[in-house]
Amino acid sequence: MSSGPGVIGGPTHPEGPLTLAVPRGALFEETLDLLDAAGVDTAPARGDSRSLIFHTDEMTLVTMRPSDVPTYVEAGAADVGITGKDVLLEQSDRVVYELLDLGYGKCRMVLAGRRGDERLGESQRRLGMMRIATKYPRIAERYFEDTGRQIELIEVKGSVELAPLIGLGDGIVDLVATGRTLAENDLEVREEIVDCTARLVANRVAHKLRAAEVDDLTARLRVASRA
C-alpha cells in the first residue's frame, strides 16, 4: 500500500535511535509516565517547549495527534507509535503491526440515545433504518453490518452529542470514558460496541529490520504496563 509520493512503508531512518510517535491530548501524560517506567527519558517532552520532536540518548520522540500515529508509522516516518484502539479500528486500512495492549486510556465505543427516548427502536421497526451520527463512520458501519441492521450514517466532526438533541439523528456512536458528557446532555448508553485502550504499533519494515530494538521496547513496556 502506497502512503504517498516516494513512500513505500519502510523506515526512513534504518540507523540511529528509534523514532517513537507519541500521542498528544488525553493519552499524552499517561504515555510519558509509562515510557518513564520503561526507562525511556521523557524529560525533554515534559517542558514548555513548542517543539514537536524531542531527542533522547535512546530514541527520538515525535508528538502528534493520536489519529496521525498510524499514518506516520505506516509510512516509516516513525518506527513505532502509541495510539488508541479506536484510532486503529477506524483506520483499519493502515498497514501497521499492533504489538501490545498498554492497558491505559480505557474507554468504550458505544451506541447512545436520548434518555427514555425510543426513537432508535421505533425507526428500526417503522423504517427499517436508524439515523446514526458519529465521528467514527467505519466502526459504526461495521458494527451495524455485523448485527444485521441498516443505518443512515451522518458523519460529524464536532460535538456529536448535539445530533439527537436537535433531531439530526436517532442516536450516536461515540467514544466515552466516564459517561459524564452523555449524562450532562441527557443521553444514555444503549449498546456497548468495543472497549478501547492505548496500543503499541510498529512499522512493518522496522519490525523486521530493527527487530531487536522493537522487541526490547515492547518487552519493557509490557513489564511497565503490568507493574
The model's pLDDT over 132-158, given as tens digits with 9 standing for 90+, comes to 999 999 999 999 999 988 899 999 998
Q: What is the pLDDT of residue 139?
A: 97
CB neighbours of residue 166 within 10 Å: 7
Q: How far is it, in rounded angstroms, from Cα 84 to Cα 74?
A: 15
Give the pLDDT of residue 5.
38
What is the pLDDT at residue 81? 98
Q: Is the pLDDT of residue 33 over 70?
A: yes
Provide the residue type at 89 as one letter: L
Residues paired with residue 114 on neighbouring β-strands, in sequence order: 187
Predicted confidence at residue 78, as pLDDT, reads 97
pTM, two decimal places: 0.88
The amino acid present at 87, given as its one-letter code, is V
User: What digits encode the pLDDT tens for the residues 195-227?
Assistant: 999 999 999 999 999 999 999 999 999 999 998
> Which amino acid makes up residue 140?
A
pLDDT computed for residue 4 by the predictor: 40
User: Rg for the chain (alpha carbons), in Å?
Assistant: 20
- What is the mean predicted confidence (pLDDT) over 23-36? 96
Most confidently modeled of 2-6, 124-128, 159-163? 159-163
Is the sign of the CA dihedral 131, 134, 138, 142 positive or negative? Answer: negative
Percent of the chain with pLDDT over 90: 79
- Which pLDDT band holds residue 45 (cuts at 50, 70, 90)? very high
* Structural domains of the chain, with CATH: 18-106+197-226 (3.40.190.10), 107-195 (3.40.190.10)
Spatial strand order of the sheet with 80-84 comes to: 53-55, 59-64, 18-23, 80-84, 198-202, 97-101
For the record, the C-alpha cell of 129 comes out as 433504518
Query: What Å distances lie between residue 76 and 29, 86, 174, CA to CA?
Result: 24, 21, 30
Integer distance in angstroms from the first to the last C-alpha of the chain?
38
* β-sheet with 107-114: strand ranges across: 151-155, 130-134, 171-176, 107-114, 187-196
- Report angle CA 160, 164, 166 to the nearest 5 degrees: 105
H-state helical runs in the chain? 28-37, 69-75, 85-90, 119-127, 137-146, 162-165, 180-184, 204-209, 211-226
On the question of pLDDT at 11 being above 80, the answer is no
Q: In whole angstroms, give the CA distance from residue 44 to residue 21.
A: 15
Q: Are 22 and 82 in contact (CB under 8 A)?
A: yes
| pLDDT at position 13 | 60
pLDDT at position 156: 95
Statement: residue 190 has pLDDT above 50: yes
Report the pLDDT averaged over residues 38-63. 91
Q: Is the pLDDT of residue 2 over 80?
A: no
